[in-house]
Structure 1
C-alpha cells in the first residue's frame, strides 16, 4: 500500500481557547478536490485521511457529516482507498481533553456512527500516535490539557488506549472484515554513557514508549511499567480489562519515523534529539519483535526539501532490508501530500512557518520528493510478483500471535 496523507492535526492550546487545525492552515478545506486528484496523479490509491473530528462530532449522538460526505463521494469516484484516521491529536471542544473519562466511550460511539455512515470504508486508524499524543499533551505541556505531570500522562495513556480498543470493537461489530492500521511513533532512547543512572533512565523510557501499544494489544507490560502504572493511579481491574481484550487479529502495526525520533539521554538525564543513528529498520524491528504484527511505514518526511529525495530512498531501503529478513511490511507512506505549518515548533503557537515537507507545496506544485515518490511507485508496481496480499499477511501474523501466546502461557 503506497500511501500519502493529508496532515490533519487539530490539538488545542491555551486551555482550549484556540485550535491548531492543520487542514485549515494547509488549505485543504479550500483545495480538497485538487488534493484528492493529486493523490491519483502520483499513481497512488491509498490515502491516510483524518476527517475533522472537532467539526463532525458536535455532541453526544450529534454529527455534522456535510463536508465529509462530499469528500467521501469524490474518493469513491477517484477510486481512492482511505485509511480513515478518526482521532489525530485532539478532541471536540465538548470533550475538552484526554483527562476526561468520557473520551473512550464517546469516541467509540463516533467510530460506530462513522462506520454506519460510510460502510464502504474498510481501513481505519482509530487513534493516531497514542504515545506522542499523551506525552505532548500531559507530560510536556504542549497541547490539549497542557500539563507536566506523570499521573496525567498515565490517565491520558489509559484513555487513549481504551478508546482505541473500544473503537476497534465498535467498527468490527459493523464491519467484521475491517482492517486497523495502528500508527505509532517509532521511538528510541540511547544512553550517552555507561553511567548506571543514565542507562536506567534510557531503559525506563524505552519501556514507557510501548505503554499504549502494550495496553491496546493486551501484552503484559514490563514489571517496572506495571509498578509505574499502579503508582500513578491505574486501577488493577482496569489493567486486567486490557489484558483480557484481543483486537490484534486484523491489526497492522504502523511505525512512523522522523529524524527526531531517536533521542540521547545526556549526562544530566535529559532527552536530546540524536538524529538518525540506527534508522527505521532497527527501531521498527524492535516493535515487530514485541508485537508480531504485519507492519507499515506510516509516516516520514524531511524538513529540508532539498534533501527530501535522498531521505525517501533511505526510508525505502530500510523497508526493503527489513522485508528481506521476513518481516511482513505491507505499506509505505510519505507524510504528507502537501507542506505543513508550524510543525518545526510542534504546533506550540501559530507563527505560520511553512515546513517544506510535502510531496507538493502549498500552491499544489510538485516538490522534488513528489517526483521521486512517483518514480518509486512506478518502479515497484512494475514488479509485484511475490508480494503477499494484505489478507495473507494478516493471517500469517495472526498465526504467529497464537503461537507466541501459547509459548508465553507455557
Structure 2
C-alpha cells in the first residue's frame, strides 16, 4: 500500500504571536515588537530545530507595511533570513487582528485593498524563499475577530452588538476569499490554512431559556467564516472548499463557555460536567467540511503546559481513530506572549521570556514542556530534532494512524 503523504514535513508545528490590532485603550499595538521577535528572529527560529519542528506560523503586519497601496515589507526580512538559515517552513499570516488606519472594514474598498496587499505579500515572500511549498493564512481567526472587535469592543472597529459582529465576520470573510484568489494568481499551488477557535457554549444552569442562544453560538455562529469561505453560506461571495483548503482548529481552555447575554462568555471551570471532549469538537468540525485539518493553536499555562499537551495530543489521536484527517498540532506560541489586557507574561510558550537588567528579553525554554513534546515525537515515530534537509519529504500519515491505533486513547472530558 502506498504511503499516505501528509501536508507538512513535521507533525508538530509552532508559531509566533503577531497581532497588530488597534487596541481599545492603547492605540496601535505590535506584538512582535512587544515580544522582541524581530530582534530575536534568528534565535527564535534556531530554537525550533532541536525541537523537531520544521513549520512555524509567522505574521506580516498589514497595518505596518501598507501605505495606501504602497508596500514596505522590509520589517519581515529578518524572518525570511532566519527561515532560510534554519530551514523552517512558514505559514504566512497576512492579517492578524489588524488593518490599516485609513480603511473601513465595511467599505467597498476593503476586500479589493486586502486582495492587492495579499498579492504583493505573496510575491514578496515567494521571491525570497528557496522553493515551495507555500502556505498562507489570509485572515486569522475571522470568527473570533468578529467577537472581539465587533461585539466586545476590544479592538477596531470597536463594535458593541451582535449585528456588528456578524457584519464584520462577513466583511472579513469576503476579503479573505478575494485574498486567496489574488495569492493564487501569483502562486497557483499555494495552500491556505483557515483558522478559528473550536468552541462549545452552554446555558447557565439556572437559565434553560438561554439554551437556544447557546446552541446557535456553538453550531451556527462558530462556523460562519468557514462556511462562507467554503461556499456553504453566501455563495455570492465566491467561496468554495478549494478556497477553504486546510482547516485550522484552535483550542484553548476558555473555548468552552457558559453563555452570557452581555459581553464575553464565562469559561467553564475544570471538572465542570458540561465540558465536552476535544476529540468530539474536532470530529464535528472536520465532518462539516471534510478537509485536511490541524490543531492550529494550543497551549496550557505555566506548569500545566506538559499536561495540556498530553491531553491535546491524546484527543487528536482519538479523533484520528474516528477517521479525522489530522495533519499536525501547532504548539503556539513558541515564545511567551503578554496578556493582551494586563500585559503580564502568560507563560504559555515553549520558551518563557525573562527581562534582563539591561531591558532585553531572554528566551528560556520550559524544559518539562520540551520533554513532553519529545516524548510524543518518539511515541509517534517523529524526529526529535531536524536534519539538514527537513523538507526532503512530508510525513507519512500512516505512521500517525498506526500510532493512534496502537495507543488507542479514549476521548476524555477530564482535561484541563
TM-score by length of 1: 0.81
Q: Which residue in 1 is equivalent to 2:86?
A: 78
The structural deviation recorded for 1:295 is: 1.0
The structural deviation recorded for 1:269 is: 11
Distance 2:41 2:207 in 1: 52
Q: Which residue in 1 is equivalent to 2:50?
A: 41
The match for 2:178 among 163, 166, 175 is 166
The structural deviation recorded for 1:66 is: 1.4
Distance 1:70 1:32, change over 3 A: closer
Alignment of 1:94-173 (within 5 A): 94-95=102-103, 98-119=105-126, 120=131, 122-173=134-185
Q: Which residue in 2 is equivalent to 1:259?
A: 253
Q: Does 1:321 pair with 2:318?
A: yes
Q: Which residue in 2 is equivalent to 1:67?
A: 75
3-state secondary structure, aligned to 1:297? strand
Distance 1:275 1:171, change over 3 A: farther
The structural deviation recorded for 1:63 is: 0.9
TM-score by length of 2: 0.80
What runs of 5+ residues in structure 2 fail to find an aligned partner?
1-10, 354-361, 384-393, 400-416
The match for 1:241 among 236, 242, 248 is 236
Q: Which residue in 1 is equivalent to 2:67?
A: 58
Q: Which residue in 1 is equivalent to 2:329?
A: 332
> Which deviates more from structure 2 when the two are superposed, residues 268-277 or residues 123-132?
268-277
The structural deviation recorded for 1:320 is: 0.7
| Contact 1:58 1:94 (C-alpha < 8 Å) held by counterparts | no
The structural deviation recorded for 1:163 is: 1.1
The structural deviation recorded for 1:291 is: 1.3
Residue by residue over 1:106-141, the C-alpha shift from the partner in whole angstroms, topping out at 9 and shown as x without a partner, is: 111111111212224511111111011011101111
Distance 1:99 1:113 in 2: 22
| Contact 1:157 1:211 (C-alpha < 8 Å) held by counterparts | yes
Higher helix share: 1
Distance 1:270 1:41 in 2: 39
The match for 1:184 among 188, 196, 204 is 196
Distance 1:77 1:178, change over 3 A: same
| Contact 2:194 2:245 (C-alpha < 8 Å) held by counterparts | yes
The structural deviation recorded for 1:193 is: 4.5
Distance 1:268 1:245 in 2: 32
What runs of 5+ residues in structure 1 fail to find an aligned partner?
221-238, 390-410
Q: Which residue in 2 is equivalent to 1:360?
A: 351
Q: Which residue in 1 is equivalent to 2:288?
A: 290
- Root mean square deviation of aligned Cα: 2.5
The match for 1:308 among 295, 305, 314 is 305
The structural deviation recorded for 1:388 is: 5.3
Distance 2:182 2:170 in 1: 18
| Contact 1:264 1:274 (C-alpha < 8 Å) held by counterparts | yes
Distance 1:249 1:269 in 2: 32
| Contact 2:337 2:347 (C-alpha < 8 Å) held by counterparts | yes
The match for 2:228 among 215, 226, 238 is 215
The structural deviation recorded for 1:378 is: 4.5
> Which deviates more from structure 2 when the two are superposed, residues 268-277 or residues 151-160?
268-277
Residue by residue over 1:4-24, the C-alpha shift from the partner in whole angstroms, topping out at 9 and shown as x without a partner, is: 110111111248x61232111
Distance 1:127 1:269 in 2: 24
| Contact 2:20 2:98 (C-alpha < 8 Å) held by counterparts | yes
Distance 1:162 1:270, change over 3 A: closer
Q: Does 1:380 pair with 2:377?
A: no
